[in-house]
Amino acid sequence: MATYTYKCPNCDGGLQFDPETQKFSCEFCRSLFAEQELESIHEQAQEAPSETTSGTQTSGTHTVCYNCPACGAQIVTDETTAATFCYYCHNPVVLAGRLEGSFAPDKLIPFQLDRDEAVEKLLAWAHSKKFVPRAFFRKEQIETITGVYFPYWSADCELQGHLDATAHNIRVWRSGDTEYTETKDYRVARGGCVSFGGITKTALQTENAKLVESVQPYDESGMIDFSMPYLAGFQANQRNVSCESLRGEIEAETQQFCESLLRDTIRGYDRVTNCRAHTNLTRIGWKYVLLPVWVLTYPGKNGKLYHYAVNGQTGQIRGQLPIDLRKLSLFSLLLAAAVCVLLLIGGALS
């Protein structure tokens, strides 16, 4: 499997995608390149004869070793890593074979938030909470935040639905001392075709998959055709979940939505009973997409590892913050002391 980095044509430094300019920048000479320009340069470089690098599966493990095309150092990754960094020369490295063939993504949403913006939002969110340990805000801790493209399946569905129900209109009136109730029953039928687009499900089995999924939704208007250079400067994961394994979950969700939509069309009645809905998934189309997330972990004193996710497009944040028990205890003592003082003052005045 080939590994390569995108080199600056001016100084040969490593190029990274810059969310602020939406171009590819060189951190050394500060040159900027558009995607089309960079792809043209890379294609020319690929046509020139060069020494290829290969990966080797390490014995008895699920890690894979590659040689960095920039400095030759060995890079160790797991089975689903598609883009990473060389820990020696810090050049971004894209493992091309991980995202080719049936594993080639159809679309991606580029990062809109750069590292500084993601850190700023995360710190503002953490500062708004109480009793967060000081260690959480340490510079060396926050700087471990990493931009990752996570794999998702995006489904577009069409369903045929039919619903039967009994609707009731009730009229109550009085005549003298007698109360009368009139109930009119109606058979109600609804049917139609319902379409759903952009239902996304994570395509990677990891311990924090649900957390990463919770930073949705994304604005799909920012989705573009997949291009390898957008991975430069970020990490990326290859999918290990098939779309067919998600079909049942997608079908159940869309059928529930379809039934709810059909019920909502029954209006103008006092009561509706005996709803019987039948839905059929007639079409489902899949797109394999990469979505941007900034991820951070924090090792708590209790041995628990806390995970945080920041939507790389919208800035939505999810995660559970740790609690500093000393801060909480001190606050409780001060609160109890204040209450005692107030009670003593109240007793003296009475």
Residues 45-92 have pLDDT tens digits of 555 544 444 444 443 445 566 666 666 655 666 677 777 766 556 566
Cα–Cα distance, 165 to 188 (Å, whole number) = 5
Tokens 């041995």 locate to: 303
HSE value, Cβ hemisphere, 13 Å, CA-based, for 161: 24
pLDDT at 57: 43
- pLDDT winner (highest mean) among 68-82, 195-209, 284-298: 284-298
- How many Cβ atoms are within 10 Å of 251's Cβ, its own excluded? 17
Q: What average pLDDT does range 129-158 have in this prediction?
A: 87
Residues 238-274 have pLDDT tens digits of 888 999 999 999 999 999 999 999 999 999 999 999 9
Cβ atoms of 309 and 214 closer than 8 Å? yes
Domain ranges of the chain: 149-218+242-296, 323-350
pLDDT at 50: 42
189: pLDDT strictly greater than 90: yes
Residues 204-235 have pLDDT tens digits of 887 777 888 889 999 999 999 998 888 888 88
pLDDT at 335: 66
pLDDT at 74: 56
Task: Evaluate if pTM is beyond 0.85.
Answer: no
Structure-block tokens of residue 229: 């250079």
pLDDT at 73: 57
Structure-block tokens of residue 248: 């049942």
